[in-house]
Amino acid sequence: MGSNGNHSLSVVLQRVEDASKVVFTGVYGPSLRVEKRRFWEELNVVRDRWVFPWCIGGDFNEIRFVGERSGCRRTTRNMVAFDDFIANHELVDLPLSGARFTWNRGESQSRIDRFLICPGWSNLVPDVYQRSLIHSVSDHCPILLDPRLQSWGRPPFRFEIAWLQAPRMEERLGEWWSFIKSKGPSDVVIGRKLRFVKKKLREWVKEKRAFDQNRLRWLESRIGEINFLEGEGNGNSNLREELGRIKAEHNGILLHEEISWRQKSRVKWLKEGIRTRHIFMPWLVLGGGKLYSSDGSLRPTPEELVFKRLDEDQCRVLEKPFEEEEIEKGVFSLGRDKAPGPDGFCLAFFKHVGHM
């Protein structure tokens, strides 16, 4: 359940634990002054449609106070209208931690991105706050609405395709896979190898995540320093070149995280192909009459049907044991992120090991 407007998209969400409902509205405010009045009217209609707790967030393309835009010296009518909208709906503008501004381009800086919540939302999700994240691609700074959820312990093991892009990963997997040299049935040997590889991967992932997090913190700190210097008018060509290199590295680390989350959520991006949706049409109405529908005639019963039968040669082919070549062909024809079993290894791992 939801609605969409010219500048907003709203959805009704239901919590699993208590079936309570909340409304979230994502916005992208207009930049033209003449359209801002219709923007607030659109949001008023959204709020009047539901009585559930409301959270609204996104790019409002407007500031509330003079100090939220560099170089701003006076309060405008649009700023007053934004402030009145928040007051009329008794919304809470959560304090922003991490940065003063959420958008910058050259020397221009503004806080035009934010989350607003009603008191009912904060009752359902207490201790919520918003903080800015470092941006390396967009002019906008990502804003995280953090409910400070508790940790539920270590997640189960899942092999991530993004790991295959790490330097020397092919060499590592080959060493780990060949390290166990045991005899016995194939399934037992493979099971021992998988358990050993899983153990080594857990150790490697722990070290890599610690390194990436430390590296991200340093990159984000340096990006913040350079942005501050440029905002103060102390930028130069060397700093801009350094900023470009740092943002590229920062974006590369985030891209690996994106691949990981994409696999976890089982999302297929458009560039990877679209799965065709089959549409069932029970009948077609034309000129008041139904086409392709049942004509009411009796259908034959199963006893009246004559089915084709397999001959002895065809039966023998079906009953033959699977050959290694057939199994390999079947495995390598499946998607790389498919079929993670209880061991947590997806097809990408087995395909990779199969080529070693």
pLDDT, tens digit (0-9, with 9 covering 90-100), for 5-50: 899 999 998 877 777 888 999 999 998 888 999 999 999 999 888 8
Environment class of 188 (CB within 10 Å of its CB; exposed 0-12, middle 13-18, buried 19+): exposed
Q: What is the mean pLDDT of residues 310-336?
A: 81
> Which pLDDT score, from 0 to 100, does residue 259 have?
64
Instruction: Calculate what percentage of the chain has a pLDDT beyond 90.
Output: 12
Strands 21-28 and 54-59, by their bridges, are parallel
Q: Are the CB atoms for 173 and 197 separated by under 8 Å?
A: yes
> Which pLDDT score, from 0 to 100, does residue 153 have?
46
Whole-angstrom distance, CA of residue 253 vs CA of residue 246 = 11
Whole-angstrom distance, CA of residue 332 vs CA of residue 347 = 8
Q: Could you count the other beta carbons within 10 Å of the beta carbon of residue 221?
A: 11
SS3 50: coil
Strands 96-97 and 129-132, by their bridges, are parallel
> Which pLDDT score, from 0 to 100, does residue 150 have?
47
Q: Could you count the other beta carbons within 10 Å of the beta carbon of residue 181?
A: 8
- Work out the widest C-alpha separation in the chain, in whole angstroms: 91
Residue 144, beta-bridge partner list: 131
> Which pLDDT score, from 0 to 100, does residue 340 have?
57
CATH class held by domain 2-146:
alpha beta
In terms of Cα–Cα distance, which of 223, 216, 225, 221 is closest to 255?
A: 216
Banded model confidence at residue 298, pLDDT cuts 50, 70, 90:
low
Q: Are the CB atoms for 213 and 175 separated by under 8 Å?
A: no
pTM over 0.85: no
Whole-angstrom distance, CA of residue 110 vs CA of residue 101 = 5
CA atoms within 13 A on the CB side of 241: 3
Indicate if the pLDDT at residue 86 is higher than 80: yes
Each domain of the chain, given as residue ranges in start order, spans 2-146, 161-271, 282-354
pLDDT digits (tens, 9 = 90+) for 181-222: 878 888 788 888 888 998 999 898 888 888 888 888 888 888
Residues 302-334: b if buried by 16+ CB within 10 A, e if exposed:
eeeeeeeeeeeeeeeeeeeeeeeeeeeeeeeee
